[in-house]
Amino acid sequence: MPGIHTVRNELAVVHASGVPGDSDIKNHAEHMLKWNASVGARKINVGVASGYITLSGEVDAYWQRCRAESLMLDIQGVIAVVNKLEVIPDLIPQDRVIASDVKSAIARCACLDNDSISVEVEHGVVTLSGRVPSWWGKHNTPHLAASILGVKGVVDHLVVVR
Protein backbone atom coordinates (compact mmCIF):
# COMPACT_ATOMS: atom_id res chain seq x y z
CA MET A 1 0.00 0.00 0.00
CA PRO A 2 1.29 3.48 -0.75
CA GLY A 3 2.94 5.16 2.20
CA ILE A 4 3.71 1.97 4.16
CA HIS A 5 7.41 1.58 4.81
CA THR A 6 7.48 -1.12 7.49
CA VAL A 7 5.16 -3.61 9.11
CA ARG A 8 5.61 -4.67 12.73
CA ASN A 9 4.00 -7.98 13.60
CA GLU A 10 3.09 -8.29 17.29
CA LEU A 11 0.64 -11.17 16.91
CA ALA A 12 1.02 -14.11 19.31
CA VAL A 13 -0.08 -17.68 18.62
CA VAL A 14 -2.36 -19.12 21.30
CA HIS A 15 -3.42 -22.77 21.22
CA ALA A 16 -7.10 -23.52 21.37
CA SER A 17 -8.48 -26.82 22.61
CA GLY A 18 -8.35 -29.70 20.16
CA VAL A 19 -4.94 -28.74 18.80
CA PRO A 20 -2.88 -31.72 17.61
CA GLY A 21 -0.09 -33.00 19.85
CA ASP A 22 3.60 -32.98 18.97
CA SER A 23 3.60 -36.53 17.57
CA ASP A 24 0.67 -35.69 15.27
CA ILE A 25 2.39 -32.49 14.16
CA LYS A 26 5.61 -34.41 13.45
CA ASN A 27 3.78 -37.05 11.40
CA HIS A 28 1.98 -34.35 9.43
CA ALA A 29 5.24 -32.45 8.84
CA GLU A 30 7.08 -35.54 7.59
CA HIS A 31 4.13 -36.40 5.35
CA MET A 32 4.06 -32.89 3.85
CA LEU A 33 7.79 -32.97 3.14
CA LYS A 34 7.55 -36.40 1.55
CA TRP A 35 4.71 -35.32 -0.74
CA ASN A 36 6.58 -32.16 -1.80
CA ALA A 37 9.37 -34.05 -3.52
CA SER A 38 11.12 -30.93 -4.85
CA VAL A 39 12.08 -30.01 -1.27
CA GLY A 40 14.35 -33.05 -0.89
CA ALA A 41 12.80 -34.54 2.26
CA ARG A 42 15.16 -37.50 2.38
CA LYS A 43 17.81 -35.23 3.89
CA ILE A 44 15.51 -33.37 6.31
CA ASN A 45 14.96 -34.31 9.96
CA VAL A 46 11.89 -33.01 11.80
CA GLY A 47 11.73 -32.45 15.56
CA VAL A 48 8.71 -31.11 17.44
CA ALA A 49 8.52 -29.82 21.02
CA SER A 50 5.50 -27.92 22.41
CA GLY A 51 4.35 -26.92 18.92
CA TYR A 52 7.78 -25.71 17.81
CA ILE A 53 9.14 -27.53 14.74
CA THR A 54 12.89 -27.80 14.28
CA LEU A 55 14.12 -28.66 10.79
CA SER A 56 17.67 -29.96 10.49
CA GLY A 57 19.67 -31.65 7.78
CA GLU A 58 20.50 -30.40 4.33
CA VAL A 59 18.90 -29.25 1.10
CA ASP A 60 20.36 -28.56 -2.34
CA ALA A 61 19.09 -24.99 -2.76
CA TYR A 62 18.10 -22.00 -0.62
CA TRP A 63 14.60 -21.95 -2.09
CA GLN A 64 14.12 -25.53 -0.79
CA ARG A 65 15.06 -24.33 2.71
CA CYS A 66 12.46 -21.56 2.48
CA ARG A 67 9.82 -23.87 1.00
CA ALA A 68 10.30 -26.50 3.73
CA GLU A 69 9.77 -23.83 6.40
CA SER A 70 6.72 -22.46 4.61
CA LEU A 71 5.15 -25.92 4.46
CA MET A 72 5.60 -26.36 8.20
CA LEU A 73 3.88 -23.06 8.98
CA ASP A 74 0.70 -24.36 7.32
CA ILE A 75 0.34 -27.22 9.81
CA GLN A 76 -2.33 -26.82 12.49
CA GLY A 77 -0.82 -26.55 15.96
CA VAL A 78 2.57 -25.19 14.85
CA ILE A 79 3.66 -22.14 16.83
CA ALA A 80 6.98 -21.50 15.07
CA VAL A 81 9.65 -23.15 12.95
CA VAL A 82 13.34 -23.21 13.81
CA ASN A 83 15.01 -23.72 10.46
CA LYS A 84 18.48 -25.23 10.84
CA LEU A 85 18.59 -26.64 7.32
CA GLU A 86 21.99 -26.25 5.70
CA VAL A 87 22.19 -25.42 2.00
CA ILE A 88 24.69 -27.68 0.24
CA PRO A 89 24.30 -27.33 -3.54
CA ASP A 90 25.19 -30.23 -5.81
CA LEU A 91 26.89 -27.74 -8.12
CA ILE A 92 28.56 -24.72 -6.56
CA PRO A 93 28.84 -21.80 -8.98
CA GLN A 94 31.33 -19.06 -8.27
CA ASP A 95 30.10 -15.99 -6.40
CA ARG A 96 30.50 -13.79 -9.47
CA VAL A 97 28.25 -16.14 -11.49
CA ILE A 98 25.61 -16.09 -8.74
CA ALA A 99 25.77 -12.28 -8.61
CA SER A 100 25.39 -12.05 -12.38
CA ASP A 101 22.40 -14.41 -12.34
CA VAL A 102 20.72 -12.43 -9.52
CA LYS A 103 21.27 -9.14 -11.39
CA SER A 104 19.81 -10.69 -14.55
CA ALA A 105 16.73 -11.88 -12.65
CA ILE A 106 16.22 -8.39 -11.21
CA ALA A 107 16.70 -6.80 -14.64
CA ARG A 108 13.96 -9.05 -16.09
CA CYS A 109 11.48 -7.73 -13.52
CA ALA A 110 9.86 -4.63 -15.04
CA CYS A 111 8.78 -3.19 -11.67
CA LEU A 112 12.33 -2.99 -10.30
CA ASP A 113 15.06 -0.49 -11.14
CA ASN A 114 18.16 -2.61 -11.68
CA ASP A 115 20.45 0.41 -11.21
CA SER A 116 19.20 1.15 -7.68
CA ILE A 117 19.78 -2.37 -6.31
CA SER A 118 23.24 -3.55 -5.31
CA VAL A 119 24.01 -7.28 -5.31
CA GLU A 120 26.99 -8.68 -3.45
CA VAL A 121 27.77 -12.38 -3.01
CA GLU A 122 30.18 -13.96 -0.56
CA HIS A 123 30.42 -17.74 -0.23
CA GLY A 124 26.97 -18.11 -1.82
CA VAL A 125 25.23 -15.62 0.50
CA VAL A 126 23.58 -12.80 -1.47
CA THR A 127 23.34 -9.35 0.11
CA LEU A 128 20.80 -7.03 -1.48
CA SER A 129 20.94 -3.32 -0.75
CA GLY A 130 19.57 -0.17 -2.30
CA ARG A 131 16.13 1.19 -3.08
CA VAL A 132 12.95 -0.40 -4.39
CA PRO A 133 9.83 1.55 -5.37
CA SER A 134 7.25 -0.53 -3.49
CA TRP A 135 6.55 -3.03 -0.73
CA TRP A 136 6.10 -5.62 -3.50
CA GLY A 137 9.71 -5.04 -4.55
CA LYS A 138 10.93 -5.24 -0.95
CA HIS A 139 9.11 -8.53 -0.43
CA ASN A 140 9.80 -10.23 -3.77
CA THR A 141 13.38 -9.23 -4.67
CA PRO A 142 14.84 -11.55 -1.99
CA HIS A 143 12.67 -14.34 -3.42
CA LEU A 144 14.15 -13.70 -6.86
CA ALA A 145 17.64 -14.03 -5.41
CA ALA A 146 16.70 -17.16 -3.44
CA SER A 147 15.66 -18.93 -6.64
CA ILE A 148 19.12 -18.69 -8.21
CA LEU A 149 21.30 -21.82 -8.35
CA GLY A 150 24.06 -21.76 -5.73
CA VAL A 151 22.45 -19.26 -3.35
CA LYS A 152 22.92 -20.37 0.26
CA GLY A 153 21.24 -17.40 1.92
CA VAL A 154 19.86 -13.92 1.30
CA VAL A 155 20.48 -10.81 3.41
CA ASP A 156 17.93 -8.09 2.68
CA HIS A 157 18.98 -4.47 3.21
CA LEU A 158 16.52 -3.07 0.67
CA VAL A 159 14.55 0.08 1.52
CA VAL A 160 11.24 1.18 0.04
CA VAL A 161 11.60 4.67 -1.42
CA ARG A 162 8.91 6.20 -3.57
Q: Is the pLDDT of residue 102 over 90?
A: yes
Q: What's residue 91's pLDDT?
A: 79
Q: Is the pLDDT of residue 105 over 70?
A: yes
Strand partners, 52: 49, 80
Q: Is the pLDDT of residue 3 over 80?
A: no
CA distance 68 to 134: 27
Q: Is the pLDDT of residue 41 over 80?
A: no
Residues of the chain with CATH 3.30.1340.30: 22-87, 95-160
Q: How confident is the model at residue 17 (pLDDT cuts 50, 70, 90)?
A: low
Other CB atoms within a 10 A radius of the CB of residue 130 amount to: 18
Could you tell me which of 73, 85, 14 has the C-alpha nearest to residue 45?
85
Could you tell me which of 75, 84, 120 has the C-alpha nearest to residue 102?
120
DSSP for 10-79, please give it. -----PPTTPPPHHHHHHHHHHHHHH-GGG-GGGEEEEEETTEEEEEEEESSHHHHHHHHHHHHTSTT--
If you classify domain 22-87 with CATH, what class do you get?
A: alpha beta
Q: What's residue 1's pLDDT?
A: 64
Q: What architecture does CATH give domain 95-160?
A: 2-Layer Sandwich (3.30)
Q: What's residue 60's pLDDT?
A: 87
Fill in the amino acid letter for 132. Answer: V
pLDDT tens track for 111-156: 888 789 999 999 999 999 999 989 988 999 999 999 898 999 999 9
pLDDT tens track for 52-99: 999 999 998 888 999 999 999 999 999 999 999 998 887 788 999 999
**Phi, psi dihedrals of residue 130, rounded to the nearest 5°:** 120, -160
CA distance 106 to 99: 11
